[in-house]
Amino acid sequence: MSGHIWSRALITGGAGFVGSHLCARLLDAGTDVVCLDNLATGSRANVADLEPRPGFRFVRGDATDPEVLAGLPGRFDLVLHFACPASPVDYLRLPLETLDVGSTGTRLALERARADDARFVLASTSEVYGDPLEHPQREDYWGNVNPVGPRSVYDESKRFAEALVTAHRGAHGTDAAIVRIFNTYGPRMRTGDGRAVPTFVTQALDGMPLTVAGDGGQTRSLCYVDDTVDGVLALAASAETGPVNIGGDDEITMLELARRIIALTGSASRVRHVGRPVDDPARRRPDTRLARERLGWTPQIGWADGLERTVGWFSRSAAA
């Protein structure tokens, strides 16, 4: 966080996976936090341990409601816009809501940041690159996105949100930045959200076959949630506008990820190959040179340590 402590932060989607970790980190650093979430995909359980703490407030509300954003009392000096369904299961179930929060939600959050003279950070995604034709993906790559495909509600929501942030900064001088988050994993992911790590870990712990899409040769680059939070807050504390990629350097095939999780859990599970989703990206790895050079950020937690922590959390949650 570069030693920067904000006095008061608003986190939309703060009861979600990454949002809840941001809430905890900022609260630990002495920042008062307002967590806004409509609980469409987030969970109040994710912030339950924060609610008794002074300086934390949970508000159940929708980031697309002008009265909610404008009606939050006090002034913020940091606004982190993380409200959005982020897994295919969720955004395919909530397609219009996903588009709304990327458009209306982003606009309202920007307006609140401008009114308060706050630093604003948009949580964008590696999905803006689509099924990339460039590898690894640099921030100046425009992407290969199907605008009418099944994933388009998420991809185009985030691409529009990026355009909106850029336009708002140009028109009003809003202190706004864009972070493009790659595949993040760790504690508090939902078992049924459809993403690879929680799916594989849950299947392995239950002794079920690990369902690998296609031949399993498609790759992702995993980043443990603590490292992602470090990157987001480093960008927030900087003067950079972005977009800046934040993601892991360890590119791994889905088949190898499944095998690693089976080994880590000591499971007797085997791999079962299933159909591959339409427009599923073949390769995904960020070029993180900008983050290294401008923010001094590099991931610190390797896959073995990160997966071990994640498996431990899922094991404890299942036993609870």
Nearest to 247 by CA among 282, 306, 310, 298: 298
Q: Where are the beta strands (DSSP E) in the chain?
A: 8-12, 32-37, 56-60, 78-81, 119-125, 176-181, 184-185, 210-213, 219-224, 244-246, 250-253, 271-274
Q: What is the identity of the amino acid at 100? A: D
- pLDDT values of the chain reduced to their tens digit, one per residue, 320 residues: 444 689 999 999 999 999 999 999 999 999 999 999 999 999 999 999 999 999 999 999 999 999 999 999 999 999 999 999 988 889 999 999 999 999 999 999 999 999 999 999 999 999 999 988 999 999 999 999 999 998 899 999 999 999 999 999 999 999 999 999 999 999 999 887 888 899 999 999 999 999 998 999 998 889 999 999 999 999 999 999 999 999 998 888 999 999 999 999 999 999 999 988 777 777 889 999 999 999 999 999 998 899 999 999 988 887 76
Q: Residues with Cβ < 8 Å from 52, sequence gap 6 or more? A: none
The half-sphere exposure of 262 on its side-chain side, counting CA atoms within 13 A, is 17
Rounded Cα gap, residues 135 and 80, in angstroms: 29
What amino acid is encoded at 144 in this protein?
N
Report the C-alpha dihedral over residues 147, 149, 154, 157, rounded to 10 degrees: 20
d(CA 317, CA 143): 38
Amino acid at the residue 227: D
Domains, the chain, in order of start with CATH, read 8-187+224-249+285-300 (3.40.50.720)
CA distance 148 to 129: 15
- Looking at the chain, how many residues does it have? 320
Q: Rounded CA gap, 226 and 87, in Å?
A: 19
CA distances from 81 to 18, 105, 162, 208, 215 (A): 11, 8, 12, 37, 36
Task: Verify whether residue 91 is a known catalytic residue.
Answer: no
Instruction: Give the global pTM.
Output: 0.95
- Active-site option among 129, 154, 185, 224: 154
